[in-house]
Amino acid sequence: MELKVASLVGIEAYYDGYTAEEINWLVGLADKHNLIVTGGSDYHGLDSTETAIGGADLPLESVERLIALAKQRNPDLKL
C-alpha cells in the first residue's frame, strides 16, 4: 500500500453515509494493513440532515489507538 509507505496511519471507516457492508470492508482493509480505524461526521454547518460533530460511533479501541499515537509523537500532549 503506497499510502502507508507515505506515513498513512488511519482510514475513516465509520461514517453515517456508509452502508454496513462498506464499513466492514474498510475495517477489514484497515486490519489487513494495520491502520487505525477512524470515524467522521463530515459536519459542515447547521443543516439538520448532517451528522453532528462527534455523532459518528466507533469502537473505543480506535480512539485509544489514535490517542496513543498522538502521545507517542508528542509526549507533552495533554489529552
User: What's the pLDDT tens digit per position in 53-73?
Assistant: 666 778 889 889 989 988 998
Residue type (1 letter), 75: P
Please name which of 11, 7, 35 lies closest in space to residue 22, comparing C-alpha atoms. Answer: 11
pLDDT-derived band of residue 23, with 50, 70 and 90 as boundaries?
A: very high
Note the pTM of the prediction, 2 decimals.
0.74
Q: Per the structure block, which three cell numbers stand in for 34? A: 494495520
Calpha distance 59→68 (Å, rounded): 15
- Does residue 58 contact residue 14 with C-beta atoms inside 8 Å? yes
